[in-house]
Structure 1
Amino acid sequence: MDIPLKKKRFNRSRIRWIIGGALVLLLILFVVFSTSGNSKLNVEKERITISDVREGVFQENIPVNGVVLPITTIYLDALEGGRVEEIFVEDGAIMKKDEPILRLSNTDLELSLVNQETSVYNLLTQMQISQNAARQNTINKLNQMTEVKSALIEAERIYNLNNKLYEQKAIGRQEFIEAENNYNYQKQRMELTKEILKQDSISTKQEENQASSSYARTKSALALMRKKVGDLVVRAPVDGQLTSLDAEIGQSKNKGERLGQIDVLSGFKVRVDVDEHYISRIYSGQEGTFTFNNKEYKLVIKKVYTQVTNGRFQVDMEFDGEVPEGIRRGQTLQIRVALSQEKQALLIPKGGFFQQTGGNWIFKLDKDGSTAYRVDIQLGSQNTEYYEVLQGLKPGDKVITSGYDNYGDIQELVLK
């Protein structure tokens, strides 16, 4: 008699399926739990920069480069064109005011000077001849005046005598009337002679004034011509150093052409290039600082050139106080120009983290310094050394300020 066997509840095949399903379930649970928490990355402390958040004095500034220039530069242009005949000094020479630098020749200008001098001499000769003729004419009229005056005196004497004789009936009426008429004629003649002499005096004076004015204008033209010829010798307008001399013997120079420049050595200024982004925040009186030979010096903006070229504009700065010893024309200085007043602020040092975060977040260390995690922050102004922290951090916090290039979307750094 056969005995029925009980069917096994778990055979090998079913056991394998159960074990496989359990393993898959465990894998799924592992993935879920591993992705549900913060992503972490192990980082060596030696490869990062950890900075302290602290309170301190903050001033917004920008770094710029400036070139040292003479305080004043005077350009030498050819006032008259000509050929370079002589060069008296070399480029770089220290000049005194009115010392000759070079000499030009211009035959047309020199010939014009000779003609002008001849015109002045001819005019002077004509004036002398006219003055002599006027004097002679005046002398003749004065002689006529003397004769007329003498005739009037004689006519008056005879008229008075005949008047008495006529009253005494000693002479006839005809003889009296004749003496009276002669007297009246001599009086009219005297008045006419005076008028002629007066008009002659006025005319002579007018001629003299016109001649003097013409002579003065001609002399002025001569002086101007002599100055133009004198300008063929180019001289130093002020004390200073001759630079950029551009002239060779035999070279022709046109009127107005640049010959060189004189740099006044009494002081220096600094010409600075600034990004056009700051054009509305730069003005005269702003200060800047730079370091030279391990010592800090101060500059002040004196002039702002508002013309923008290639995205930049220029300003001139002058030294405020001590001028660095040994500074030279053409040197480049690295300057920090202040854009605001000093104030108390929460600060973090500048670093590469800003390139990836834009200042919106940063890795902050926990209390024991073993872990750093992302925190949202808000930054304000900046200078060459620090960012101003507006919110998200407090004094004493430690943050990672080096670059975040390799961190991607990592939320937490484990420091080792």
Structure 2
Amino acid sequence: MDKVIPRKNRKFRYLTIGIGAFLVLAVLVFLSFSKKRTLNVKADELMVQKVEKAFFEDFIVFQAKVEPLNVMLVNVTEGGSVKEIFVENGATVVSGQPLARLYNPNTELNYLTQETAIIEQINNLNTGKLNIRNQELNLNKDLVLIEHDYNDAKRIYDMNSKLYDKDVISKNDWNTFKESLRFQEERKRTIQQSIQKEKQTNQIQISQINRSIQTMEKSLDILRDNKKNFLITAPASGRLTSFEPVLGKTFQAGESIGKIDSKQGYKLTAEIDEFYLEKVREGLKGQVEYKGKTLEVLVTKVIPEVKGGHFIAELAFVSKENIALQDGLSFGVKLVLSEKNKILVLQKGSFNQETAGKWIFVTKGNKAERRAIKLGRENPSYYEVLDGLKEGESVIISSYADYKDVEELSISGQ
């Protein structure tokens, strides 16, 4: 008879193996995460600088262009094509001097038509005024005749009055003479009142006609002055610039054809990165180098409107001496944003492009460890160190493009 052999329980063995494998895997994962990511680099590939205390001057450097202090535009009042050119670009001109002449046949014909119409209206108004004067003259003639009739009636009345008192004429005849005088007297009074009212009305009409004529004459003068606008003259005295007309070239009304520099000095105009908008203000001082001299400049105007990532600032030369400059020259301007003070600084380098100033590699022997830092102000040479570094520590300031995800560098070839 066969003996039954009991079957071993394999579940416990499998569980033990699984737990062991999990622990090994957990240890490996822990070691992989706890181990610093290290990269081997050569010393000659790195640029190392020490953190130091130095006098920090908060300043920026930018390019500025020379422009005249006061410029007046030469604008085209009446559009047309260039017919004549009287001066050249760069010439010194005086106020009112002819610069060029334009022509526009359509506009000139329109002016002529308008001028003819205005003159015709003035003539019609003058004719109306003459008719009113003639009406007054005719009324005055009528009044003379009426006064003559009245005087005759008055003379006959006075003469017959004496005869009536002597009973030479009858009462009936006397009443006839008296009625005739009364009629002529009433007629004269009525005509005089009518003439008086007519004259008042005529005076109002003539006054209105005269005002209309004055308005039309002013319009005629303006029209004739506009015809003179085809002749472009200098609006002020100075040096003519940006004046490049070509015979036959057409300019529109309001278009600028040149500029006049009044020769009252120069200013600098610069486009500055918007990053410095809150730092640049009126009154800040700067320096430019010109012919071996250092010239002081002063910010006189800041235009805060940002276009293309830049805003515009204007600077004036502090020196009162006459500086022989030319429009269009370009200067490198050093603008001081704050006074010098001694602080902990770090020389600028390419590392900041990858770190944004938040961390850096600090060297110690043949190793370099990643460390969090905080930087503050900057100028073209230095960063201000606020936290994370000490004076005398050495740091790598060259590019971190190849090891920005590394935590430790192993440096060889020192």
Query: Shared fold (TM-score greater than 0.5)?
Result: yes
Match of 2:398 in 1: 403
Residues 223 and 350 of structure 1: CA distance in aligned 2, closer, same or farther (over 3 Å): farther
In the alignment, the residues of structure 2 paired with residue 318 and residue 376 of structure 1 have an alpha-carbon distance, to the nearest angstrom, of 40
Equivalent residue in structure 2 for 1:82, among 75, 80, 83: 80
Is residue 297 of structure 1 aligned with residue 296 of structure 2? yes
118-127 or 194-203, which deviates more: 118-127
Match of 2:305 in 1: 306
Match of 1:321 in 2: 318
Residues 128 and 273 of structure 1: CA distance in aligned 2, closer, same or farther (over 3 Å): closer
Contact 1:286-1:337 within 8 A present in 2 as well? no
Match of 2:385 in 1: 389
Is residue 350 of structure 1 aligned with residue 347 of structure 2? yes
Is residue 97 of structure 1 aligned with residue 95 of structure 2? yes
In the alignment, the residues of structure 2 paired with residue 397 and residue 263 of structure 1 have an alpha-carbon distance, to the nearest angstrom, of 59
Match of 1:68 in 2: 66
Contact 2:74-2:260 within 8 A present in 1 as well? no
Matches within 5 A, 1:232-251: 232-249=230-247, 251=248
In the alignment, the residues of structure 2 paired with residue 283 and residue 291 of structure 1 have an alpha-carbon distance, to the nearest angstrom, of 17
Amino acid at match of 1:403: S
Residues 142 and 402 of structure 1: CA distance in aligned 2, closer, same or farther (over 3 Å): same
Contact 2:41-2:411 within 8 A present in 1 as well? yes
Residues 358 and 202 of structure 1: CA distance in aligned 2, closer, same or farther (over 3 Å): same
Instruction: Write out per-residue CA displacement over residues 35-74 of structure 1, whole angstroms, 9 at most, x where no aligned residue.
Output: 99x9999969x974445224x4654x44433322233444
Residues 114 and 291 of structure 1: CA distance in aligned 2, closer, same or farther (over 3 Å): closer
The offset of 1:91, in angstroms, is 2.3
Residues 410 and 99 of structure 1: CA distance in aligned 2, closer, same or farther (over 3 Å): same
Match of 1:253 in 2: 250
Residues 243 and 172 of structure 1: CA distance in aligned 2, closer, same or farther (over 3 Å): same
Matches within 5 A, 1:265-304: 265-279=263-277, 281=278, 285=282, 287=284, 289-293=286-290, 294-304=293-303
Amino acid at match of 1:299: L
Amino acid at match of 2:331: L
Residues 314 and 380 of structure 1: CA distance in aligned 2, closer, same or farther (over 3 Å): closer
Equivalent residue in structure 2 for 1:378, among 374, 377, 392: 374
The offset of 1:319, in angstroms, is 0.4
156-165 or 375-384, which deviates more: 156-165
The offset of 1:330, in angstroms, is 1.9
Q: Report the secondary structure of 1:141's partner residue.
A: helix
Match of 2:53 in 1: 53
Unaligned runs of 5+ in 2: 1-34
Contact 2:240-2:259 within 8 A present in 1 as well? yes
Contact 1:365-1:399 within 8 A present in 2 as well? yes
Residues 109 and 42 of structure 1: CA distance in aligned 2, closer, same or farther (over 3 Å): closer
Q: Report the secondary structure of 2:265's partner residue.
A: strand
Contact 1:268-1:318 within 8 A present in 2 as well? no
The offset of 1:295, in angstroms, is 0.9
Contact 2:98-2:233 within 8 A present in 1 as well? yes
Residues 134 and 78 of structure 1: CA distance in aligned 2, closer, same or farther (over 3 Å): same
Q: TM-score, normalised by structure 2?
A: 0.70
The offset of 1:355, in angstroms, is 4.4
Residues 307 and 355 of structure 1: CA distance in aligned 2, closer, same or farther (over 3 Å): closer
Q: Report the secondary structure of 1:329's partner residue.
A: coil
In the alignment, the residues of structure 1 paired with residue 154 and residue 310 of structure 2 have an alpha-carbon distance, to the nearest angstrom, of 97
In the alignment, the residues of structure 2 paired with residue 415 and residue 400 of structure 1 have an alpha-carbon distance, to the nearest angstrom, of 17
Match of 1:226 in 2: 224
Residues 344 and 176 of structure 1: CA distance in aligned 2, closer, same or farther (over 3 Å): farther
Equivalent residue in structure 2 for 1:216, among 191, 214, 217: 214
Q: Report the secondary structure of 1:53's partner residue.
A: strand
In the alignment, the residues of structure 1 paired with residue 305 and residue 199 of structure 2 have an alpha-carbon distance, to the nearest angstrom, of 66
Instruction: Write out per-residue CA displacement over residues 370-411 of structure 1, whole angstroms, 9 at most, x where no aligned residue.
Output: 9998765422122233322323456x6464574265996557
In the alignment, the residues of structure 1 paired with residue 231 and residue 279 of structure 2 have an alpha-carbon distance, to the nearest angstrom, of 44
Residues 288 and 165 of structure 1: CA distance in aligned 2, closer, same or farther (over 3 Å): same
In the alignment, the residues of structure 1 paired with residue 165 and residue 282 of structure 2 have an alpha-carbon distance, to the nearest angstrom, of 106
Contact 2:49-2:347 within 8 A present in 1 as well? no
In the alignment, the residues of structure 2 paired with residue 413 and residue 108 of structure 1 have an alpha-carbon distance, to the nearest angstrom, of 83
Residues 257 and 163 of structure 1: CA distance in aligned 2, closer, same or farther (over 3 Å): closer
Amino acid at match of 2:314: M
In the alignment, the residues of structure 1 paired with residue 216 and residue 226 of structure 2 have an alpha-carbon distance, to the nearest angstrom, of 15
Q: Report the secondary structure of 2:264's partner residue.
A: strand
Unaligned runs of 5+ in 1: 1-34
Residues 404 and 113 of structure 1: CA distance in aligned 2, closer, same or farther (over 3 Å): closer
Contact 1:364-1:375 within 8 A present in 2 as well? yes
Matches within 5 A, 1:8-27: none
The offset of 1:272, in angstroms, is 2.4
61-70 or 166-175, which deviates more: 166-175
The offset of 1:181, in angstroms, is 2.3
Match of 1:5 in 2: none
Q: Report the secondary structure of 1:272's partner residue.
A: strand
Contact 2:98-2:232 within 8 A present in 1 as well? yes
In the alignment, the residues of structure 2 paired with residue 296 and residue 75 of structure 1 have an alpha-carbon distance, to the nearest angstrom, of 29
In the alignment, the residues of structure 1 paired with residue 181 and residue 274 of structure 2 have an alpha-carbon distance, to the nearest angstrom, of 100
Q: Report the secondary structure of 2:69's partner residue.
A: strand
Match of 1:194 in 2: 192
Q: How many residues align?
A: 370
157-166 or 329-338, which deviates more: 157-166
Amino acid at match of 2:305: T
Residues 325 and 365 of structure 1: CA distance in aligned 2, closer, same or farther (over 3 Å): farther
